[in-house]
């Protein structure tokens, strides 16, 4: 085998070689970082996550505190420094360290044994010692000037386990904060142990601090251990609450009302659903009214969702236009348009025959249809290929124009008008919450808009046709499409005129609007057809005439 062939085989072997897989120290789904910020980013990749109650507790605000805080139950230790002020029959001021025997030395007065004495008894103890020498007119003030530094182990489910230096007066919150805080994924906020010489001295529940600001003081010694245990049980609460969070509980079952007390219900909350997964991976959902949950229990892993489900017996109706009554009315669920009209205060200018009804649900549907049609047009204009360079250049300019048109059309908000047919009895039209009833004013104006030489308003003249009003507006311009003319009546009805003969026959009424649409030119007939349809759709649903 020659040298070149050997080298080629060696290179191929290196390329195809795959190292053996070894068991990792972390399981699938477990984070490979202890940085809390990175942990949050990793978790966010899997979608929205319900926050753990207390997740923002440890952000460095406790560890940055350097000054000791006064604890009346603190017991004096060897190495502490006590500030003493004496005045009256004898004068003295100084900071006295507690020696290895547990004493401080007061000049001209001797020693005072303070080891193990509580903070709140320090002044009286020193006063009693001084009065052994000076019985009258001696006043004493004493205070802790400095605490003996200590080192505490922080272990368990914290982001940075280790040994941390502090003072005996420091709180558990300060030491946990120095250790990077509790790991939100599986660290417990309710089961924190403090050990001394491997003996459990105290068990802490931080929910008392999180909910009510309560924190029991504890005096640490060097070598103490703070151990953050695993989460036992969690229940997530979402919906109409002030604290949508994952809440931790030490027992496997708990009353539902206790869970909701932590979440704090909003005033609008009325019902709750409980989602429970069985051991057979079956999903069970239970629904309760909030006033019926006294004996309901939930278990760890359940999901609780709170929601408002109030029954509204009244609809809010807005009355716009020409009338003398209220502009907002509350009507019953079964109220009809006829009942509403019967209660209105109309005036001589009210044009009840051209009354208009607008509905939010209809406007929403019209918007959806418009956006759907615009999306189809956008896909068509972007996916249509060009054969030659010249055509490509023309297509590029056309594409920019159409895309600009699409963006403007997306901003159009349909009115949601329901055209009331003359043959429909308004006593059969039931009102919905949020409806708007518009009473037009009697007018003597006819509007001519769109592709005419002089768009504007004209006074109404009996027997004038649509063609006559176009003539009064200077006739159609070169951009007009003579086959695409809309007449929108004051009550919302629409007529389409596609030739001049029809224009001559249609007589416009007071308050009518005449729209002359633009002529569309393009090689792609489907694009032209879609734009025309959108122009019609926008003009009818929103009363807006868009230009391409």
Fold of 149-230: Outer membrane lipoprotein wza fold like (3.10.560)
Structure tokens at 427: 């006593």
Kindly report whether the global pTM for this prediction surpasses the value 0.85: no
- DSSP codes, 293-329: -TT-EEETT-EEEEE--PPP-EEEEEEEES-SS-SEE
Task: Determine how many CB atoms are found less than 10 A away from the CB of residue 290.
Answer: 16
Residue 44: is its pLDDT beyond 50? no
* Burial of 289 per CB tally in 10 Å (0-12, 13-18, 19+): exposed
* pLDDT tens string 436-473: 999 999 999 999 998 999 999 999 998 899 999 999 99
Give span(s): CATH 3.30.1950.10, the chain. Answer: 81-146
What's the mean pLDDT in 465-487?
Answer: 90
- Which range scores top for mean pLDDT: 71-80, 130-139, 339-348? 339-348
Q: Which CATH superfamily is domain 81-146 in?
A: wza like domain (3.30.1950.10)
> Residue 301 — left, alpha, or beta (φ > 0 → left; ψ -120 to 50 → alpha)?
left
**Which range, of 142-151, 205-214, 234-243, 523-532, averages the lowest pLDDT?**
523-532
> Which long-range contacts link 458-464 to residues 24+ away (Cβ below 8 Å)?
460/508, 460/509, 460/510, 463/507, 464/507, 464/508
* Contact assessment for residue 400 and residue 378, using Cβ atoms and an 8 Å cutoff: no
The length of the chain, given as a count of residues: 548
Could you report how far apart the first and last alpha carbons of the chain are, in Å? 75
* Contact assessment for residue 241 and residue 257, using Cβ atoms and an 8 Å cutoff: no
* pLDDT tens string 216-235: 778 888 899 999 999 999 99
- Which range scores top for mean pLDDT: 25-34, 35-44, 135-144, 294-303? 294-303
* Burial of 221 per CB tally in 10 Å (0-12, 13-18, 19+): middle
Fold of 233-307: Ubiquitin-like (UB roll) (3.10.20)
Of 367, 376, 408, residue with least CA distance to 527:
376
Task: Determine how many CB atoms are found less than 10 A away from the CB of residue 273.
Answer: 15
- pLDDT for the residue numbered 181: 93
pLDDT bin (cut points 50, 70, 90) of residue 15 is very low
* Strand bridging mode 297-299 / 138-146: unpaired
Give span(s): CATH 3.10.560.10, the chain. Answer: 149-230, 442-542
**Which range, of 6-15, 101-110, 373-382, 486-495, averages the lowest pLDDT?**
6-15
pLDDT bin (cut points 50, 70, 90) of residue 137 is confident
Query: Furthest-apart CA pair in the chain: how many Å?
Result: 127
- Distances in Å between the alpha carbon of 526 and those of 43, 187, 291, 402, 517? 47, 61, 60, 13, 18
Fold of 442-542: Outer membrane lipoprotein wza fold like (3.10.560)
Alpha carbon distance 473, 475 (integer Å): 6
């Amino acid at each position: 085998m020659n040298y070149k062939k050997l080298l080629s085989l060696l290179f191929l072997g290196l390329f195809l070689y795959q190292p053996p897989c070894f068991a990792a120290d972390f399981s699938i789904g477990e984070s490979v970082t202890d940085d809390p910020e990175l942990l949050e980013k990793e978790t966010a990749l899997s979608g929205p996550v319900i926050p753990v109650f207390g997740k923002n507790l440890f952000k460095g605000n406790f560890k940055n505190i350097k000054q000791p805080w006064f604890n009346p139950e603190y017991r004096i230790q060897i190495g502490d420094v006590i500030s003493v002020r004496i005045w009256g029959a004898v004068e003295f001021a100084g900071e006295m360290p507690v020696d290895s025997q547990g004493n401080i030395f007061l000049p001209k007065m001797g020693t005072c044994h303070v080891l193990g004495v509580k903070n709140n008894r320090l002044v009286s103890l020193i006063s009693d010692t001084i009065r052994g020498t000076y019985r009258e007119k001696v006043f004493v003030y004493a205070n802790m000037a400095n605490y003996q530094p200590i080192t505490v182990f922080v272990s368990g489910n914290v982001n940075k386990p280790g040994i941390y230096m502090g003072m005996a007066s420091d709180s558990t919150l300060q030491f946990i904060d120095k250790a990077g805080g509790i790991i939100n994924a599986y660290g417990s906020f309710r089961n924190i142990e403090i050990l001394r010489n491997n003996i459990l001295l105290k068990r802490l529940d931080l929910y008392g601090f999180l909910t009510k600001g309560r924190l029991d003081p504890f005096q640490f010694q060097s070598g103490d251990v703070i151990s953050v245990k695993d989460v036992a049980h969690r229940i997530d609460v979402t919906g109409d609450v002030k604290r949508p969070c994952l809440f931790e509980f030490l027992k496997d079952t708990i009353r539902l009302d206790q869970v909701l007390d932590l979440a704090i219900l909003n005033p609008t909350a009325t019902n709750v659903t409980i989602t429970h997964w069985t051991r057979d991976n079956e999903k069970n959902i239970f629904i309760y009214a909030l006033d019926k949950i006294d004996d309901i229990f939930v278990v760890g892993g359940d999901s609780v969702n709170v929601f408002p489900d109030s029954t509204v017996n009244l609809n809010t109706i807005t009355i716009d236009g020409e009338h003398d009554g209220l502009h907002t009315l509350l009507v019953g669920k079964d109220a009809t348009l006829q009942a509403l009209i019967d209660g209105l205060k109309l005036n001589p200018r009210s044009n009840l025959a051209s009354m208009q009804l607008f509905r939010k649900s209809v406007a929403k549907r019209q918007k959806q249809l418009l956006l759907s049609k615009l999306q189809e047009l956008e896909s068509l204009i972007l996916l249509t290929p060009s054969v030659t360079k010249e055509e490509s250049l023309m297509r590029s300019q056309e594409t920019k124009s159409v895309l600009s048109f699409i963006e403007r059309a997306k901003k159009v908000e349909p009115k949601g008008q329901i055209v009331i047919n003359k043959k429909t009895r308004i006593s059969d039209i039931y009102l919905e919450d949020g409806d708007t009833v518009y009473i037009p004013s009697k007018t003597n104006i006819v509007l001519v808009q769109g592709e005419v030489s002089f768009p504007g308003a004209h006074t109404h003249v009996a027997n004038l046709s649509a063609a006559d009003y176009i003539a009064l507006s200077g006739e159609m311009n070169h951009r007009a499409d003579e086959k695409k003319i809309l007449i929108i009546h004051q009550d919302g009805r629409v007529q389409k005129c596609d030739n001049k003969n029809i224009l001559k026959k249609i007589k416009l009424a007071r308050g009518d609007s005449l729209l002359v649409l633009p002529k569309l030119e393009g090689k792609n007939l489907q694009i032209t057809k879609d734009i025309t349809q959108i122009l019609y759709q926008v003009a009818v649903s929103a009363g807006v005439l868009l230009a391409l």
